[in-house]
Structure 1
Amino acid sequence: MKKLHALTLAALVAVSSAAVAHGDEEHAKPRKFDPSKVEATDWGQEGNPKKITRTIEVDMADNMRFTPSDLTIKRGETVKFVVHNGGQVLHEMVLGTKKALAEHAALMKKFPDMEHSEPSMAHVKPGKNGEIVWQFTQPGEFQFACLQPGHFEAGMVGKLTVK
């Protein structure tokens, strides 16, 4: 029975890892905007690149910090984030609520090779740039974070205020 459980667990982990392998890859390939696939979240929705109202440059570094780390956005703005990784390891910028990011970080810790690609995130290799185009439809306090294993826990989190 123990052997069956071990085999079942190994199969589930293998399938989960294969389905969501993250690795060292750069997932921030240019997305083709499709309005029919835009999904609303508590922190906004994928933005139309033709309706960008502002561009914000954000740097990520191996000291586990974002620069700037505190951003204020106007409700309704469509922002293009140009995210630069000035470090030597893979970093990412993921937008979300404090709760959603904490849950995602816990999942990344459990499955460190998890692949995920959403409009609200950019995975960026060292020395490269990534982009997020996001429309902020809801007011509130939100965050952006690097969810690579250990980075979130080391404080690689920024504050996003939508007014």
Structure 2
Amino acid sequence: MKFLFLLFTLTAVSASALADTGHGQSHQSEPAPSRTIDIQAGSMWFDADKLQIEPGKTVRFRIENVSMIPHEFSIGSGRMQQMHREMMQQGGDHHGAEGSDKMMGDHHNGMMDHGETQSAAVTIAPGETETLIWTAPEQGDVIEYACFLPGHYEAGMKGTVTLNSNA
């Protein structure tokens, strides 16, 4: 009986400790996506090379890799995309190895354009579908999406986003 009482007490204390996640801090959740955009990534192509997205709206990209090789879907301002492309060309290629999805999370999650347009990216294994949530800026520079795996961008795996309030 003492064992059951001790087990119950420890369970209750643990649940209480886990429930206290903020210590008075406010947590902002990301806005729910207002739209889902399906994109296919094939052998050196995306099935769309131009998208229209309403400024300030959060969208869900569902990217399906229909090819036999890995791809990346990276979206952000032209400046951030250029920085990402240069990093990948300088040996920042962390794709293709077993377990690279875990490493990609560390690199891609939270890429920011220092107060400008948020950038984000995801790697998609052959035959897989990945989801990426992204919020369009209220205004700004050219928004681009691309695959920066070596040779993919140069082969045409890129597109642009037009900010359009009628999208």
Tell me, yes or no, whether TM beats 0.5: yes
1:1-163 equivalent positions in 2, closer than 5 A:
47-48=30-31, 51-62=32-43, 64-114=44-94, 115=104, 116-119=107-110, 120-140=120-140, 141-163=142-164
Letter in 1 for 2:123: H
Q: TM-score, normalised by structure 2?
A: 0.64
Q: Which runs of 5+ in 2 are unaligned?
A: 1-25, 95-103, 111-119
Q: TM-score, normalised by structure 1?
A: 0.65
RMSD: 2.1
Q: Identity rate of aligned residues, in percent?
A: 29
Aligned partners of 1:139 and 1:86: how far apart in 2? 33
Aligned partners of 1:107 and 1:37: how far apart in 2? 31
Letter in 2 for 1:133: I
Letter in 2 for 1:118: N
Aligned partners of 1:36 and 1:161: how far apart in 2? 31
- Flag the structure with larger Rg: 2
Deviates more, 1:139-148 or 1:79-88: 139-148
1:92/1:123 contact within 8 Å kept: yes
Aligned partners of 1:124 and 1:91: how far apart in 2? 5
Counterpart position of 1:18: none
Query: Partner of 2:108: helix, strand, or coil?
Result: coil
2:93/2:149 contact within 8 Å kept: no
Aligned partners of 1:147 and 1:131: how far apart in 2? 18
